[in-house]
Amino acid sequence: MIALFDRRPVLWHFLISFLIASLVIVWAIFSMIRDPASAASLSNLFNDVYAGKGYINLVTILGAVPSDLNLLNIIVFASAPTIAAIILAAYGVNGGLGRLLGRLLPVGPDGEMRRSLILYGGLIAAYFAGLFAFDWVAGPGVNAYPRLEGFGVPILLGALIGLFVDEGGTLEELGWRGFAWPALLAAMRSPVGAALVIGVIHWAWHLPREVITLMSGASLVTFLTAQTVFLILTVALAVVCGFCVNMTGGSVLPAIMVHGGTNVWSKALGEYVAPSFGVLDLRTLIVVLIALILLAFARKRLGLKDG
C-alpha cells in the first residue's frame, strides 16, 4: 500500500480529496431530498451573517453550527485536502506526518529566517495594499471595510485575524501547499509547471460543489464563464502561493495567508466593488497581476533556492 501511494502521491492526494468532497455533496443532496428545509441552511447562514455585518469564515460558520448541523458540510468539504494529506502522510508518504505538520511552522524545513522575514513583510504589505485597492475602487463615499469589524475589533485587527480564519486557506492549504506542492516539486523539474498542475488540481477539486449550482438552474454560459475565471484564479494563486512557500523553505503558513487574505478581499470587501472589470473580479485581477510580476522577476525557480 505504501509503495502504491509513494509512486503517485499527488494523484492519490487528489483522488482522496475529490472523493471526500464528492461524498459531502452527495450527503448534502440526500439531506435536501430527505428534509427540504435543509436546502435553506446556506442561505440562512449568509443572511444571518450579513445582517450582523460579518462575512463567511470559520468563526461565523462554527458559530452557526450548533443551531444547524448541516453547516458542518462546509467544514468537512474545505478540510478534504488536509484530511487526504494526513492520511497519506500517516502511511509515511512524502516524508511522513512529522514533516507534514512541521510545515505549519513559520519557517519551513528547508528555510532561512532572513528570507522568511522578508517574505512575510512583503506579504503583509501586499495584503493591505489590496485592502486599499478595494476601498479605492469602491469609490468616494463608500466604506468598503465594515465587515472586517465583524469580530468586534477595529478594522486593522479584524483584517489581520481574517488572514487566519478563512475556511479555505486555513483548512485546505496543509493539503495543497503542505503535501501536494513539495511532492510536485520533487517530481517535476519546473516549479512553474508544478504551479500550473496544482492550480488545475485545485480548480478541479471544487467541481463537486458545482453540482448544486447547476441543480439550482444556473445557465450554462454563466457557469462556464465563472469556471474559466475561477481556473485563472487558482492557477495564479498557485504561482503566488508556490513562490511564498518556496521563499520560506516549505512553510505552509504564507499559503494560508495568501489564500485566506485573498478570500477576505472577495468575501468581506467584494460586494462594495461592482461592476467588476469585465468578467474578472478585482480579487482575481490583483492575484493575476501579482503572479505575472513574480513570474517576471522570480522566473523559472519561483523563489526556490539554488542547489
Measured CA angle at 295 (ends 115, 197), to 5 deg: 100
Distance from chain centroid for Cα 90: 23
Mean pLDDT score of the chain: 92
- pLDDT number for residue 117: 96
3-state secondary structure (DSSP) of residue 277:
strand
Residue 151, classified by CB atoms within 10 Å of its CB into exposed (0-12), middle (13-18) or buried (19+), is middle
Share of the chain above pLDDT 70, in %: 98
Residue matched to cell numbers 470559520: 58
pLDDT at residue 307 above 70? Answer: no
Task: Record the cell numbers describing residue 225, joined without a space.
Answer: 464563464
| H helices present in the chain, as ranges | 2-7, 9-34, 41-51, 58-64, 72-90, 96-102, 113-138, 155-162, 167-175, 181-187, 191-205, 210-215, 220-247, 253-264, 282-297
pLDDT at 220: 85
291 or 300: whose pLDDT is higher?
291
Q: 280 φ, ψ to 5°?
A: -90, 130
Domain coordinates in residue numbering, the chain: 2-301
Average pLDDT of the residues in 98-116: 95
Alpha carbons within 13 angstroms on the beta-carbon side of residue 221 total 1
Predicted TM-score (pTM) of this structure = 0.95
Distances (CA, A) of 38 to 34, 59, 76, 161: 9, 21, 17, 30
Which pLDDT score, from 0 to 100, does residue 80 have?
A: 98
At residue 107, φ and ψ (nearest 5 deg) are -115, 125
Query: For residues 267 and 166, what is the distance between their CA atoms, to the nearest angstrom?
Result: 10
Q: Which residue has the cell 484530511?
A: 83
The length of the chain, given as a count of residues: 307
| Mean pLDDT calculated for residue range 278-285 | 90
Per-position b or e across 46-84, b if 16+ CB within 10 A of its CB: eeebeeeebbbbbbbbebbeeebebbebbeebbbbbbbb
Cα Rg of the chain (Å, integer): 19
On whether the CB atoms of residues 265 and 282 are closer than 8 A, the answer is yes
Which among 136, 262, 152, 47 is positioned nearest to 144, based on CA atoms?
Answer: 136
List pLDDT tens digits, range 143-173: 899 899 877 789 999 999 999 999 999 999 9
**Residue pLDDT, tens place only, 220-255:** 888 899 999 999 999 999 999 999 999 999 999 999
The residue whose grid cell reads 485592502 is 131
Please write the tens of the pLDDT for every residue from 176-221.
Answer: 999 999 999 999 989 999 999 999 999 999 999 988 777 777 788 8
Q: Residue 178's closest CA among 259, 235, 121?
A: 259
Q: Which of 38-52, 226-240, 288-302 has the lowest mean pLDDT?
A: 38-52
Point out which residues pair with 277 in neighbouring strands: 280
